[in-house]
Structure 1
Amino acid sequence: MSILLVEDDASIALVITAALEAEGFSVSRCETIAQRDDLLAGGGFEALVTDVKLPDGDGIETLDRVTARWPALPIVILSAQNTLDTAVRATETGAFEYFPKPFDIDELARTMRQAVGANGSAGAGADEPLGDGLPLVGRSSAMQSVFRMITRVLRNDLTVLILGESGTGKELVAEAIHQLGHRRTGPFIAVNTAAIPAELIESELFGHEKGAFTGAVARHAGKFELAAGGTLFLDEIGDMPMQAQTRLLRALQLGTIRRVGGHEEVALDVRIIAATNKDLGPQIAAGQFREDLFYRLNVVPINMPPLRERTDDIEALAKHFLQLAAMEGLPRRRLTAEASDLLSRQSWRGNVRELKNFIYRLALMAREEVIDVDTVSPLLRQDFAPSPSVSESPIDIEGAVTRWLADERPDAGSVYGAALAAFERPLFSEILRETGGNQLRAAQELGINRNTLRKRLSDLRLDPEEFVRRP
Structure 2
Amino acid sequence: MSRTALLVEDDGAIATVITAALEEDGFSVSRCDSIAGRDRLLAERRYDVMLTDVMLGDGDGIETLAAVQAAAPQMPVIILSAQNTLDTAIRATDTGAFEYFPKPFDLDELVRTTRQAADSRSAATADADDTAGALPLIGRSQPMQEVYRMITRVLRNDLTVLILGESGTGKELVAEAIHQHGARKSGPFVAVNTAAIPSELIESELFGHEKGAFTGAVGRHIGKFEQASGGTLFLDEIGDMPPEAQTRLLRALQSGRIRRVGGREEIATDVRIVAATNRDLAPLIAAGRFREDLYYRLNVVTIHLPPLRERPDDIAALTRHFLTLAAQEGLPRRRLSDEAIELLQRQPWRGNVRELRNFAYRAALLAREDEIDTATVSQLLADRPMSDETAAQASLPAALATWLADTKLAPGTLYHAALAAFEKPLFEHALARTGGNQLRAAALLGINRNTLRKRLSELAIDPDRFSATN
TM-score by length of 1: 0.81
Q: Residue 384 of structure 1: CA displacement?
A: 6.0
- Aligned AA for 1:329? G
Per-residue CA deviation, residues 339-395 of structure 1 (Å, 9 max, x unaligned), is 111100011010111011001111111122221112211111222669957999999
Verify the 8 A CA contact 2:231 2:272 in the aligned structure 1.
Answer: yes
Distance in 2, Cα, partners of 1:18 & 1:391: 53
Please name the residue that 2:87 is paired with.
85
| SS at structure 1 position matched to 2:362 | helix
1:22-37 → structure 2 map (5 Å cutoff): 22-37=24-39
Please name the residue that 2:255 is paired with.
254
Please name the residue that 1:115 is paired with.
117
Distance in 2, Cα, partners of 1:139 & 1:391: 34
Please name the residue that 1:355 is paired with.
356
Please name the residue that 2:453 is paired with.
none
Per-residue CA deviation, residues 209-247 of structure 1 (Å, 9 max, x unaligned), is 111111111111001111111111000000101110000
Against the structure 1 CA distance between its residues 91 and 268, is the aligned structure 2 distance closer, same or farther, given a 3 Å change threshold? Answer: same
Distance in 1, Cα, partners of 2:216 & 2:101: 56
Verify the 8 A CA contact 1:153 1:177 in the aligned structure 2.
Answer: yes
Please name the residue that 1:269 is paired with.
270
| SS at structure 2 position matched to 1:195 | coil
Please name the residue that 1:149 is paired with.
150
Number of matched residues?
395
Distance in 2, Cα, partners of 1:254 & 1:392: 49
Q: Residue 71 of structure 1: CA displacement?
A: 0.8
Distance in 2, Cα, partners of 1:342 & 1:226: 45
1:411-426 → structure 2 map (5 Å cutoff): none
Structure 1 position 38 matched with structure 2 position 44: no
Per-residue CA deviation, residues 181-224 of structure 1 (Å, 9 max, x unaligned), is 11111111110000000100000100001111111111110011
The structure 2 residue matched to 1:9, chosen from 4, 11, 29, is 11
Please name the residue that 1:428 is paired with.
none
Verify the 8 A CA contact 2:333 2:364 in the aligned structure 1.
Answer: yes
- Aligned AA for 2:372? I
Please name the residue that 1:331 is paired with.
332
Please name the residue that 1:203 is paired with.
204
1:48-197 → structure 2 map (5 Å cutoff): 48-120=50-122, 122-126=123-127, 128-197=129-198
Please name the residue that 2:213 is paired with.
212
Please name the residue that 2:22 is paired with.
20
Distance in 2, Cα, partners of 1:288 & 1:328: 43
Verify the 8 A CA contact 1:47 1:115 in the aligned structure 2.
Answer: yes
Distance in 2, Cα, partners of 1:285 & 1:278: 13
| SS at structure 1 position matched to 2:147 | helix
Q: Residue 126 of structure 1: CA displacement?
A: 2.8
Distance in 2, Cα, partners of 1:123 & 1:311: 36
| SS at structure 1 position matched to 2:134 | coil
Q: Which shifted more, 12-21 or 78-87?
A: 12-21
- Aligned AA for 1:71? P
Against the structure 1 CA distance between its residues 22 and 181, is the aligned structure 2 distance closer, same or farther, given a 3 Å change threshold? Answer: same
In structure 1, runs of 5+ residues without a counterpart are 397-471
Verify the 8 A CA contact 1:389 1:395 in the aligned structure 2.
Answer: no
Verify the 8 A CA contact 1:190 1:235 in the aligned structure 2.
Answer: yes
Per-residue CA deviation, residues 418-463 of structure 1 (Å, 9 max, x unaligned), is xxxxxxxxxxxxxxxxxxxxxxxxxxxxxxxxxxxxxxxxxxxxxx
Distance in 2, Cα, partners of 1:183 & 1:289: 29
Q: Residue 117 of structure 1: CA displacement?
A: 1.4
- Aligned AA for 1:136? L
Identity %: 70
| SS at structure 1 position matched to 2:195 | helix
| SS at structure 2 position matched to 1:194 | coil
TM-score by length of 2: 0.81
Against the structure 1 CA distance between its residues 365 and 20, is the aligned structure 2 distance closer, same or farther, given a 3 Å change threshold? Answer: same
RMSD of the TM alignment (CA)? Answer: 1.8
